[in-house]
Amino acid sequence: MNRIFDDHILRRVYSLDGTWQFCTDENKEGEALGYTKELPAHTKNIIVPSVIGRDFGLLTYEGITWFGRKFHTNGGTLRFCFGAVMTEAKVWLDGEYLGEHYGGFCEFDFIAEDVAAGEHTLILRVDNSSDLDSIPHPKVDWYHHGGIIRSVSFEELSGVCVLRCHAEYTLNDALSSAEVSFKLKLYSKEAAETSLDISVGNNTVIAKNIKVCKGVSEVETERIILDDIALWDIDKPNLYTLVAKTATDDFIDRIGFRYIEVKNGKVHLNNKEIEFRGANRHEDHPDWGFAVPAQISRRDVEIFKDMGANAVRGSHYPQSRAFVDLLDESGLMFWSEIPIWGGGYTADDLARPLVLSRGFDMLKEMTEVYYNHPSIVIWGIHNEIDTAASSALEMSKLYYSEMKQNGGNRLVTFASCRPFTDICFEYCDVMSVNYYYGWYEGTIKTWDIFLEKFDARRKELGFSDKPLIVSEFGAAAIYGNHTFDNLKWTEEYQAELLSYCIEAFHKSEMVCGMFVWQFCDMLTAKEVGLSRARHYNNKGILNEYRKPKSAYFAIKERYNIWKK
C-alpha cells in the first residue's frame, strides 16, 4: 500500500506484496547463471515490502540480491509499479529485460505490452552497494538497508491511460480563486482518440476529446478558473479529490491550494507570517527498517501533532507517499529532500558527472512523483555538502534553478553546516543551517553568539531579507538515562539544550523555523557508528520505539503555547 486511498477505481490494480523468493549473489554471477529467468533452488522466502537485514541476518550485506515471484494476469498491457527499491533495480518479466532504475526512495514503473493471459515470473536484481558515484555516498549517518522497501503492484492497462496528472495553479491576490491547468502523462498502446474528464472535488472542470500518439505522451489542458476555493492551511488542511478520467481509465489524487513565499525577511503561508516548528524524521524503525508500515507513519503524524509541531523535515530522502498523504491530511508542512548527504563527498566528488546527474534526476523524479502534495512547502536540494567549494556552487545553481522552474510554489533550500564560509546562499529562498553547539562544540549559550554572528554575515552578504531555518540542532540522550547533574547523554541535558535553543530561535527576528534533530533514535551505519552509542544516533526526542524522552515534553510545552 503506497497511498492511503485508492488511486484507481476503473483501472485494475493487483498487489504484488507478500511472499517473494530471495537470494544473495556475492559473486555477481546471477545473470550468467540465468537468474533473470528463474531463480535458483536455494532461495528463501521473504515478505515484500521489507528490508533484507530484518529477516536473514543480512543487516551488513552490501551487494546484489535477487527477488522473484510468480503472478497471474488476464494479459494485455501491464504496468509494474515499484514504491521504492534500494538502491538500483533491474527488472525482467519471464526473462525479458524490462528496464532499470537508480535511486532508492522514489516510485518507478515499467510497461510491458502483449503479455499473454496466465502465469508469469517477475524477477528483480537489486544492488544496495555504494561507491563514490552513489547517492547516497557510502558514508551516511543512517542505516543503508537493502531490499524492496515499499509496495509493488501491477496494473492491467486498457486504452488511453493516465500515468500522472499534475494540477498547476496560481492564486489571485485574495487567495480566493485559482487559475489551474493540468499536465498529464498518458500512455496508449496505439495512437488513439479518447474523452478526457477532469474533476476537482464535485465539479467537472475539463470535459473534452483528445488525440494521443502511441506510447507515452504529455498533454497540457487549457487554464480554468476555480472560484471560492477553500485553502489548504495548517489549521484547516482542505483537500480536493482530483480525478482524471479517459474512456477506459482513471487516475485519482488529492490536491490542496495554498501559497507560500518569503516577504520582507519572513515566510508567509497564505499571506500570514509563519514559523516552522518541527523535527527531522528518518523513515526508519527497529522492526521494519525503511519499510515503515502506514500504521507507524500514522502514529508518527499523531505524535508530531501532539507535540504542537507544524512541520516535518524528511531527512534525508523522499519519504513514503502514505506518510506524505497523512501530512496532507493533518496540516503538517513538509520539507522533502534527496539523499545527497555531504559527510562523505569531497569537493571534487561533487563535480563527478554521475553524482551531479544522478542528483539532478532525483530532483526531477521527486518533483514528478510528489508534485500534487500540498504539504510539501520546501524542497531540499542537498545536506551538509562542502558549500565553501566551487563545485557545490555549481551544483546548487543547477539544482536550485531546476526546482524553482519546475517544482511548483515551494521554497527551495539546502542544509548548510558551513554558516560562515558557505558561498552558495544565493541559491536558496531561505537559508538553512545545521549546527550542534552544546554537543560537538561550544556550549548551549554559544547559540546566542552564533545568532548574532550569522545575522551580521547575512547582512554582509546582502541577504538580510533571507530568513534562517535552523534545520538541525540537538544532543544525544540515552532513553531512561537520568542524573542529578546535567551531564551529556542524559535526558535532562538534552531537554535543557533543546528548550534553550528553541526559545532563542523563537525570539530571533532572523529565524523563521526550527527542526529539532531528531524525531526518534535510529540505527546508523558502520563508519559513523563508531562514535554512536548502541550504534544508534541517539539524538531522538523519542527513542526508536517512539517512547518520549524528557525533551519531548519540554518541546511540546513550548510549541503548543506558541501555536495559540
Binding site for ligand ADA (CB under 6 A): 141, 315-316, 383-384, 434, 472, 517, 537, 539
**Cβ distance to ligand ADA smaller for residue 437 or 517:** 517
8 Å CB contact between 101 and 112: no
Structure-block grid coordinates of residue 12: 485494475
| Least distance from ligand ADA to the Cβ atom of residue 163, Å | 34
Residue 64 CB, nearest approach to ligand ADA (Å): 27
Adjacent-strand bridge partners of 198: 206, 244
CB of 518 to ligand ADA, least distance (A): 7
In terms of CB distance, is 50 or 315 closer to ligand ADA? 315
- Least gap, CB of 384 to ligand ADA (angstroms): 5
CB closer to ligand ADA out of 307 and 522: 522
Closest CA to 78 of 110, 107, 116, 112: 112
Nearest approach in angstroms of CB 517 to ligand ADA is 6
Partner residues linked to 18 by β-bridges: 48
CB of 543 to ligand ADA, least distance (A): 15
Backbone angles phi, psi at 69, to 5 degrees: -160, 160
CB of 440 to ligand ADA, least distance (A): 7
Do residues 430 and 266 make contact, with C-beta atoms less than 8 angstroms apart? no
Q: Is 477 left (phi over 0), alpha (psi -120 to 50) or beta?
A: beta
Residues 483-510 as b/e (b if ≥16 CB within 10 A, e otherwise) read eeeeeeebbbbbbbbbbbbbebbeebeb
- Give the residue with the Cβ less far from ligand ADA, 315 or 367: 315
- Residue 460 CB coordination number (10 Å): 9
* Helix H or strand E segment including 155: strand 152-157
The nearer residue to ligand ADA, 274 or 428, going by C-beta atoms, is 428
Give the residue closest to ligand ADA by C-beta.
141
Write down the least CB distance from residue 343 to ligand ADA, Å. 7
Specify the residue, 108 or 414, whose C-beta has the smaller distance to ligand ADA: 414
**Rounded to an integer, what distance in angstroms lies between the CA atom of residue 202 and that of residue 193?**
25
Residue pair 89/157 in contact by the 8 Å Cβ criterion: no
Closest alpha carbon to 23 in 71, 56, 60, 49: 56
Q: Which residues contact 69 (CB under 8 A, 6 or more apart)?
A: 16, 18, 19, 20, 21, 48, 121, 122
Q: What's the closest the beta carbon of residue 5 comes to ligand ADA, in angstroms?
A: 32
Residue 522 CB, nearest distance to ligand ADA (Å)? 10
How many whole angstroms separate alpha carbon 285 and alpha carbon 169? 37
In sequence order, what DSSP letters do the residues of 138-153 get, joined into one string? S--SS----EE-S-EE
80 vs 517 by CB, closer to ligand ADA:
517
Q: Where are the beta strands (DSSP E) in 16-117?
A: 18-24, 44-48, 64-73, 76-82, 85-86, 88-93, 96-102, 108-115
User: Taking a C-beta distance cutoff of 8 angstroms, is the pair 535, 514 a contact?
Assistant: no
Cβ atoms of 141 and 524 within 8 Å: the answer is: yes
Smallest separation, CB 187 to ligand ADA (Å): 38
Residue pair 510/458 in contact by the 8 Å Cβ criterion? yes
Q: Give the nearer residue to ligand ADA in terms of CB position, either 49 or 136.
A: 136
> What minimum distance in Å lies between the beta carbon of 140 and ligand ADA?
7
The DSSP result for 204-229, as a single string, is EEEEEEEEE-SEEEEEEPPPEEE-SP
Please identify, using beta-carbon distances, which residue of 315 and 320 lies nearer to ligand ADA.
315
Q: Which CB sits closer to ligand ADA, 243 or 475? A: 475
Decide if 118 contacts 94 (C-beta within 8 A): no
Cell numbers standing for residue 5: 486511498
* Residue with smaller CB distance to ligand ADA, 154 or 439: 439
- Which residue in the block uniquely carries the three cell numbers 519531548? 552
Report the candidate in 86, 78, 19 with the shortest Cα–Cα distance to residue 51.
Answer: 86
Partners of 511 in the beta sheet? 468
* In the complex, least distance from residue 330 CB atom to ligand ADA, rounded to whole angstroms: 25
Of 92 and 276, which has the nearer Cβ to ligand ADA? 276
